[in-house]
């Protein structure tokens, strides 16, 4: 192969990589596993638990990214665990119930189940049910180098509209949490600036792009609106706060 041919091949490879990355940045998309026995992990870290081993050519739905990792929807074959007290006759009986990687309160959170969700119970453990991963509610992580672009995802327009409306109603009408808002002080890696306390315990860390939004309600009992963010290795979840209202 001549030097010119090598240069052309390099340019073509670079163009292909740019093309794939351009598509991959448009989430969600269908990814293709490019090697055998690839770990699907509970967090974006090689030290986290392996939930399954993926075969080459397995198709996965990628919903986001974090550094060198893709966040993917878990397949139904993955087992996750839910506290038995929140399940009645195979139906989730509470809002925002954590789904975990093993039957323990210390296990990684793979997602949350909403009230009324029907779950498929596979096994039982003391105080826990092992269930088939609910589709669209649970997520894992795969290293980017093992995922190639396959195709875009084209959800039905009606479902997108319904989902957007539900998210809007939840954001505008239902608080994520309630408690006493207090400043955090020095917080490791500055993931949040305040904390929400209920019954003397911290139930959430809080952050906002507008510092005065949280400072103005310091010491007050409040309702908090926003989005829950994942914190790898953190037992207490973080809320990105959109709005705060005093409890009347």
In this structure, is residue 35 part of a structural domain?
no
Q: What is the pTM (predicted TM-score) of this model?
A: 0.55
Which residue do the tokens 């052309």 mark?
Answer: 8
Q: How far apart are the C-alpha atoms of 61 and 243, rounded to whole Å?
A: 32
Task: Give the best-scoring range by mean pLDDT among 2-6, 121-125, 233-237.
Answer: 121-125
Q: Is the pLDDT of residue 232 over 90?
A: no
What total number of domains does the chain contain?
Answer: 2
Task: Give the best-scoring range by mean pLDDT among 14-18, 73-77, 161-165, 198-202.
Answer: 73-77
pLDDT of amino acid 152? 82
Q: Is the dihedral of CA 66, 52, 61, 132 positive or negative?
A: negative
Q: How far apart are the C-alpha atoms of 33 and 28, rounded to whole Å?
A: 16
pLDDT of amino acid 199? 86
Q: What CATH number should be reported for the domain holding residue 212? A: 2.40.50
In this structure, is residue 104 part of a structural domain?
yes
Q: The tokens of 7 are what?
A: 């240069």
Q: How far from 111 is each of 1, 18, 94, 103, 186, CA to CA, in Å?
A: 52, 32, 14, 14, 28
Q: Which domain holds residue 92?
A: 79-137
Q: Are residues 131 and 185 in the same domain?
A: no
In this structure, is residue 2 part of a structural domain?
no
∠ CA 86-89-95, rounded to 5°: 30
Of the residues 92, 122, 137, the one at which a domain ends:
137
pLDDT bracket for residue 11 (50, 70, 90): low
In this structure, is residue 19 part of a structural domain?
no
Of the residues 137, 153, 187, the one at which a domain ends:
137
Which residues face 59 on adjacent strands?
32
pLDDT, tens digit (0-9, with 9 covering 90-100), for 93-108 = 999 999 999 999 999 9
Cis peptide before 39 (omega within 30 of 0): no
Q: Are residues 183 and 238 in the same domain?
A: yes
pLDDT, tens digit (0-9, with 9 covering 90-100), for 142-184 = 999 999 999 887 654 444 344 444 444 444 557 878 899 888 7
Q: How far apart are the C-alpha atoms of 227 and 164, rounded to whole Å?
A: 14
Closest residue by Cα to residue 120 from 105, 130, 109: 130
Cβ atoms 244, 219 nearer than 8 A: no
Which residue do the tokens 């509610």 mark?
Answer: 137
In this structure, is residue 212 part of a structural domain?
yes
How many CA atoms, within 13 angstroms, populate the side-chain half-sphere of residue 152? 9
Q: For 120, which DSSP code?
A: -
pLDDT bracket for residue 234 (50, 70, 90): low
pLDDT, tens digit (0-9, with 9 covering 90-100), for 22-80 = 444 578 899 999 999 999 999 999 999 999 999 999 999 999 999 899 999 999 999 99
């Amino acid at each position: 192969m001549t030097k010119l041919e090598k240069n052309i091949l390099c340019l073509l490879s670079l163009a292909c990589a740019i093309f794939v990355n351009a598509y991959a940045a448009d989430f969600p998309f269908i990814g293709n596993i490019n090697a055998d026995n690839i770990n699907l992990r509970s967090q974006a870290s090689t030290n986290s638990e392996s939930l399954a081993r993926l075969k080459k050519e397995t198709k996965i739905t990628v919903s986001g990214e974090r550094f060198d990792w893709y966040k993917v929807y878990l397949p139904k074959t993955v087992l996750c665990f839910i506290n038995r007290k929140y399940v009645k006759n195979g139906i989730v009986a509470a809002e925002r119930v954590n789904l975990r990687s093993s039957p323990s309160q210390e296990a990684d959170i793979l997602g949350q189940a909403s009230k009324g969700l029907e779950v498929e119970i596979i096994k039982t453990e003391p105080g826990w049910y092992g269930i088939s991963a609910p589709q669209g509610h649970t997520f894992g992580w795969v290293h980017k180098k093992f995922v190639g672009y396959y195709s875009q995802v084209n959800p039905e327009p009606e479902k997108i509209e319904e989902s957007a409306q539900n998210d809007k109603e939840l954001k505008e009408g239902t608080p994520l949490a309630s408690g006493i808002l207090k400043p955090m002080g020095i917080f490791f890696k500055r993931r949040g600036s305040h904390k929400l306390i209920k019954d003397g315990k911290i139930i959430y860390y809080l952050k906002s792009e507008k510092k005065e939004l949280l400072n103005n309600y310091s010491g007050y009992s409040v309702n908090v609106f926003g989005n829950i963010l994942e914190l790898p290795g953190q037992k207490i979840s973080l809320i990105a706060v959109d709005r705060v209202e005093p409890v009347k």
